[in-house]
């Protein structure tokens, strides 16, 4: 079985922005996965970008080999568990991020992000990087 990783929208953005550390992290994995939530967040960002067509084109080129994971009933079950757990602890993260977290847990994938709020999610392996645009 190949070793894979799930991308956050911040990872996609930094990868497209030529942040070398993201590419270095991804080179350690055989398979790159992406959730429909991250795809939606990424496309929405491009809709608001001055370089809309350039960004969409670059994203299309890079993402052709990425595996698009579905949201399933199991994803929804994990989402509910994560949300309840965080509520009990008095912690919050954006709703979209809970869906992405549930996807990572469902498929038992490490998660590439530099958003610190993911560090406090139970049973989630977070892989990060230092932000330096080269």
Indicate the average pLDDT of the chain. Answer: 88
50 lies in some domain? yes
43 lies in some domain? yes
Instruction: Give the domain range for residue 58.
Output: 4-127
134 lies in some domain? no
Looking at the structure of the chain, the number of domains it has is: 1
41 lies in some domain? yes
23 lies in some domain? yes
The span from the CA of 28 to the CA of 14, in Å, is 17
pLDDT of 1 above 50: no
Give burial (CB, 10 Å; 0-12/13-18/19+) of 89.
Answer: exposed
* pLDDT tens readout for residues 27-46: 899 999 999 999 999 999 98
133 lies in some domain? no
């Amino acid at each position: 079985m190949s070793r894979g990783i799930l991308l956050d929208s911040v990872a996609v953005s930094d990868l497209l922005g030529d942040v070398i550390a993201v590419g270095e992290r991804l080179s350690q994995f055989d398979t790159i996965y992406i959730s429909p939530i991250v795809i939606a967040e990424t496309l929405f960002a491009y809709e608001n970008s001055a370089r809309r067509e350039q960004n969409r084109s670059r994203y299309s080129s890079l993402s052709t080999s990425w595996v698009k994971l579905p949201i399933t009933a199991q994803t929804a079950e994990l989402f509910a568990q994560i949300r309840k757990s965080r509520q009990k602890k008095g912690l919050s993260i954006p709703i979209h991020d809970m869906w992405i977290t549930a996807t990572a847990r469902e498929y038992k994938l490490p998660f590439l992000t530099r958003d610190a709020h993911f560090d406090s999610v139970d049973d989630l392996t977070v892989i990060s990087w230092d932000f330096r645009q080269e």
